């Protein structure tokens, strides 16, 4: 190959490489901040839930923005959520006869409310009817909602373009410089080849147009000083909400009890059940709930595409051999030794020379690709590792770049697993004969090859606890229970004397300390007399809220004869006496003393029954 051609290619490649290096450096420097959460707090701010969702998700608008906005509208009286049966999916939306003044609604709030009003018939709309049937309309609606949320965040000084005018101008200037260099290199190539139409101008203009278009397409939003400050505080609110273990299992209709707390819980990703039921067409297999590690959180899943992913080692090596053989054969035929690059006198000589040069370049790439695949494939065999985690998603392998009518790979499945290493993961390639053995929520141990993302060993080590959306029906209170329902409330301090609590947890405790809880919940904590560490949390609630708490916790080992119902599950126990529900949770060093909770509940039930009889 002519050294002058190599020089021209090197100059043009250096210009392009320098621009993309500068572009990558700018993207790295303008990444959205990851604020340190403030201390846990229950104090809500003035920002609407959609903006809060943007702040806690590193300045990215997710589906939580629309869902939390709908819940906030319900909390503010614009719509009403009712659950007529035991299944939260039966929830219906009802428009009030006299709606509140909506003149102060933000554009994205009005967009959500208009959709509800537009679909409602006689003021009623099933919650599941909010989904879109036309993908194009769903995409357009969600795109406009995201734009409105971003515009509001910018107006409030909480967000800004990731690439501002200064950055865009600098990248465009660099694109112009790269275009000039590429154009000069192409012009030099045309001059020494003696081409009639010098390609320099066209190459330079094309390069500048492409690079400036990339520079002008901002990759999203980024933080501001005020945005970082508020994001840290809202992350503290998220920590407080996640500290209430039953909060993530509240259904959408619980907004009537929890008011705006449920809306903000959806905005910060602390309402698993509510977010699972709500669907405004933004559900995505790329953002999946996981309980691995003991707390519910969302994991972003990437589904790989490309020829190497999921391949067995024989197929991979065969592919490398084919690439090497084809590349070597083409290079032997059209390589420099064939002297096909000289300008001959016969017609089409230059065209043929250019075609031969392209074939040589392709042959070199095939050889490099085959060698790289061979080396990485062998290294993949030596770097097999074991992964244990929770199954998030199982689906027949189909590349995300394929359309709906494109063929899938029925012999291979995507397997997304949360191994607890972070909030992002990449799906593995699971042979289909194992796909039927695992289900969402199972804990599995895999032997995997990292480069090909191939699963070569599979075992289910724990079956997931199925969380059915339909909860058990709360029995109607009759007889003695109905009489107790009208009795005055009994405080946790009266139900659980420190002496009995100390006997149950195996160490002396201080008198109960009240804990602030939202809504109708009343709570206390018992602390060890020595170091003051919390050992037992007690929460009591009555009425409709008590029914919700009972539905969410009436599971595990039933304790017959204790009150009007009692259950023990792990480190938690629940007791129902009339319409009052008492929830106990062991903390700290007291964990592991669950065997004594039934006795403690029996004492509290007897004490509550005695007080009810005294009242009657």
157-177 pLDDT, tens per residue? 999 999 988 999 999 999 999
User: What pLDDT does residue 283 have?
Assistant: 46
Phi, psi angles (nearest 5°) of residue 129: -80, 0
pLDDT tens-digit series, residues 398-453: 644 444 444 555 678 999 999 988 888 999 999 988 887 777 778 889 999 999 89
Q: Are 394 and 430 in contact (CB under 8 A)?
A: yes
Distance CA 401, CA 25 (A): 28
Question: pLDDT at residue 192 above 80?
Answer: no
Nearest to 439 by CA among 467, 412, 401: 467
Q: Kindly state whether residues 444 and 562 are assigned to the same domain.
A: no
Q: Write the pLDDT tens digit of every residue in 314-360.
A: 888 888 888 888 878 877 777 664 454 455 555 556 666 667 777 77
**For 38-58, what is the mean pLDDT?**
93
Mean of pLDDT values over 175-190: 88
Tell me the pLDDT band of 519, cut-offs 50, 70 and 90.
low
Q: Is residue 228 part of a domain?
A: no
Average pLDDT value for the chain: 81
Q: Is residue 222 part of a domain?
A: no
Residue 335, pLDDT score: 66
Would you state the pLDDT for residue 613?
A: 42
pLDDT of residue 544: 65
Answer yes or no: do 453 and 365 share one domain. yes
Same domain (yes/no): 152, 262: yes
Beta partners for residue 269, in sequence order: none
d(CA 504, CA 222): 52
End-to-end Cα distance, the chain: 104
Do 450 and 535 belong together in one domain? Answer: no
Map residue 126 onto helix, strand or coil: strand
> What is the model's pLDDT at position 484?
37
- The H or E element that residue 51 is part of is helix 49-56
Average pLDDT over residues 517-542: 81
Task: Give the whole-angstrom CA distance, residue 152 versus residue 3.
Answer: 57
Higher pLDDT, 188 or 167: 167
In a domain, 232, yes or no: no
List beta partners, residue 445.
388, 459
- 171 is in which domain, residue-wise? 3-30+163-216
* DSSP category for residue 101: P
Tens digits of residue pLDDT in 556-604: 788 888 888 898 888 888 898 887 889 888 888 888 888 888 888 888 8
Query: Which residue in the block uniquely carries the two structure tokens 């200037």?
Result: 173
pLDDT tens figures, 69-79: 999 999 999 99
**What is the spatial distance between Cα 414 and Cα 99, in angstroms, rounded to a whole number?**
47
Domain boundary among 252, 283, 314: 283
Q: What is the pLDDT of residue 475?
A: 37
What pLDDT, on the 0 to 100 scale, is given for residue 118? 85
If asked whether residues 415 and 425 sit together in one domain, one would say yes
Q: Is residue 397 domain-shared with residue 415, that is, in the same domain? A: yes
Q: Is there a domain that residue 35 lies in?
A: no
* The pLDDT of residue 336: 60
- Tell me, what's the pLDDT at 284? 57
Specify the pairing of strand 424-426 against strand 557-558. Answer: unpaired
The last residue of a domain, from among 442, 470, 498: 470
Collapse the DSSP code of 572 into the 3-class scheme (helix H, G, I; strand E, B; otherwise coil) and give the result. Answer: strand
Structural domains of the chain, count: 4
Question: In angstroms, how far is CA 45 from the centroid of its own chain?
Answer: 24
Cα–Cα distance for residue pair 323/518, rounded to 1 Å:
65
* 223, part of any domain: no
Do 315 and 437 share a domain, yes or no?
yes
341 and 436 part of one domain: yes
Does residue 44 form part of some domain?
no
Q: Is the dihedral of CA 371, 373, 374, 378 positive or negative?
A: positive
Report yes or no: 341 and 357 within 8 Å, Cβ to Cβ.
Answer: yes
Residues 89-114: tens digit of each pLDDT: 889 999 999 989 989 999 999 999 99
CB 149 within 8 A of CB 54: yes
Give DSSP secondary structure letters for 573-602. Answer: EEEEETTEEEEEEE-GGGTT-GGGHHHHHH
Whether residue 67 contacts residue 276, with contact meaning beta carbons closer than 8 Å, is answered with no
Q: Which of 182-196, 244-258, 341-355, 461-475 has the lowest mean pLDDT?
A: 461-475
- The whole model's pTM is what? 0.56
Residue tagged 């970082």 (tokens): 228
What residue has token string 């790289």?
372
Ramachandran sector of residue 144 (left: φ over 0; alpha: ψ -120 to 50; beta: rest): alpha
334: enclosing H helix or E strand? helix 313-334
Range among 188-192, 446-450, 503-507 with highest mean pLDDT value? 446-450
In a domain, 229, yes or no: no
What span, in angstroms and rounded, lies between the C-alpha atoms of 42 and 244? 11
Q: Are residues 416 and 556 in the same domain?
A: no
**492 pLDDT tier (thresholds 50, 70, 90):** confident
Integer CA distances (angstroms), 40 to 238, 244, 249, 516, in order: 7, 12, 20, 13
Cβ-contact 527, 509 below 8 angstroms: yes
CA distances from 270 to 71, 172, 275, 289, 610 (A): 14, 42, 9, 10, 39
CB 538 within 8 A of CB 512: yes
Q: Is the pLDDT of residue 180 over 70?
A: yes
Q: What is the mean pLDDT of the segment spanning 238-259? A: 87
Same domain, yes or no: 455 and 491: no
**pLDDT tens digits, one per residue of 535-544:** 898 888 877 6
Give bridge partners of residue 526 from the DSSP assignment: 536
Whether 221 is covered by a domain: the verdict is: no
Q: What is the DSSP string of 220-263?
A: -EEE-HHHHHHHHHHHHHHHHHHTSTTGGG--GGGHHHHTHHHH
Q: Indicate which CATH number applies to the domain containing 516.
A: 3.40.1000
Chain centre to alpha carbon of residue 243: 19
Contact 389, 420 (CB under 8 A): yes
Instruction: Give residue 54's pLDDT.
Output: 95
Give the largest Cα separation in the chain, rounded: 117
Give SS3 for 344: coil
Alpha carbon 218 to chain centroid, angstroms:
22
Do residues 391 and 502 both lie within one domain? Answer: no
pLDDT at 480: 34
Q: Is 616 a residue whose pLDDT tops 50?
A: no
Read off the pLDDT of each residue in 276-297 and give the average, rounded to a whole number.
71
Q: Which 8-state DSSP code applies to residue 439?
A: -
The pLDDT score that the predictor gives to residue 400 is: 42
**pLDDT band (50, 70, 90) for residue 486:** very low
Residues 144 and 277 in one domain: yes
């Amino acid at each position: 190959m002519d050294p002058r051609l190599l020089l021209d290619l090197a100059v043009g490649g250096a210009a392009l490489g320098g621009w993309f290096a500068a572009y990558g450096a700018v993207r790295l420097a303008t990444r959205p901040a990851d604020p340190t959460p403030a201390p846990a707090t229950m104090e809500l701010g003035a920002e609407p839930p959609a903006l809060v969702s943007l702040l806690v998700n590193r300045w990215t608008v997710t589906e939580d923005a629309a869902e939390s906005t709908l819940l906030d509208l319900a909390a503010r009286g614009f719509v009403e959520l009712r659950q007529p049966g035991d299944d939260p999916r039966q929830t219906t939306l009802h428009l009030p006869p006299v709606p509140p003044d909506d003149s102060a609604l933000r554009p994205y709030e009005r967009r959500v409310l208009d959709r509800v009003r537009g679909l409602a018939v006689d003021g009623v709309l099933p919650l599941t009817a909010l989904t879109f049937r036309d993908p194009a309309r769903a995409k357009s609606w969600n795109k406009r909602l995201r734009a409105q949320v971003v515009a509001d965040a910018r107006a409030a000084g909480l967000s800004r373009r990731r690439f501002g005018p200064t950055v865009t101008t600098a990248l465009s200037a660099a694109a112009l410089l790269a275009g000039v260099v590429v154009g000069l290199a192409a012009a030099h190539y045309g001059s020494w080849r003696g081409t009639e139409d010098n390609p320099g101008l066209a190459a330079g203009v094309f390069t500048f147009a492409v690079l400036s278009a990339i520079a002008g397409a901002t990759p999203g939003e980024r933080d501001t000083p005020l945005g970082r400050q508020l994001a840290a505080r809202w992350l503290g609110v998220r920590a407080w909400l996640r500290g209430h273990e039953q909060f993530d299992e509240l259904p959408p209709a619980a907004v009537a009890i929890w008011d705006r707390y449920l809306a903000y819980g959806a905005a910060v990703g602390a309402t698993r059940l509510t977010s699972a039921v709500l669907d405004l067409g933004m559900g995505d297999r790329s953002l999946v709930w996981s309980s691995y590690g003991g707390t519910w959180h969302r994991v972003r899943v990437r589904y790989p595409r490309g020829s190497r992913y999921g391949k067995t080692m024989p197929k991979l090596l065969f592919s490398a051999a084919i690439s090497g053989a084809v590349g070597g054969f083409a290079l032997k035929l059209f390589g420099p030794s064939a002297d096909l690059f000289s300008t001959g006198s016969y017609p089409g000589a230059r065209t043929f020379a250019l075609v031969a040069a392209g074939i040589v370049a392709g042959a070199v790439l095939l050889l490099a690709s085959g060698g790289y695949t061979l080396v990485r494939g062998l290294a993949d065999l030596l770097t097999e590792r074991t992964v244990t985690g929770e199954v998030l998603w199982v689906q027949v392998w189909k590349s995300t770049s394929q359309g709906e009518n494109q063929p899938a790979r029925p012999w291979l499945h995507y397997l997304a697993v949360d191994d607890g290493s972070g909030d992002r993961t990449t799906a593995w390639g699971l042979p289909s004969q194992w796909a039927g053995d695992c289900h969402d929520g199972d804990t599995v141990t895999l032997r995997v090859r990292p480069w090909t993302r191939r699963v070569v060993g599979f075992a289910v080590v724990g079956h997931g606890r199925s969380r059915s959306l339909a909860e058990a029906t709360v029995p109607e209170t009759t007889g003695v229970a109905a009489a107790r329902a009208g009795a005055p409330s009994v405080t946790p301090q009266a139900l659980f004397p420190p002496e009995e609590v100390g006997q149950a947890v195996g160490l002396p405790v201080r008198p109960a300390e009240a804990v602030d809880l939202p809504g109708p919940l009343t709570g206390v904590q018992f602390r060890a007399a020595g170091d003051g560490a919390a050992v037992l949390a007690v929460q009591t609630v009555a009425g409709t809220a008590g029914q919700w708490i009972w539905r969410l916790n009436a599971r595990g080992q039933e304790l017959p004869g204790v009150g009007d119902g009692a259950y023990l599950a792990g480190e938690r126990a629940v007791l129902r006496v009339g319409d009052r529900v008492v929830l106990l949770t062991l903390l700290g060093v007291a964990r592991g003393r669950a065997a004594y909770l039934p006795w403690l509940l029996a004492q509290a039930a007897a004490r509550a029954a005695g007080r009810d009889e005294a009242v009657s």
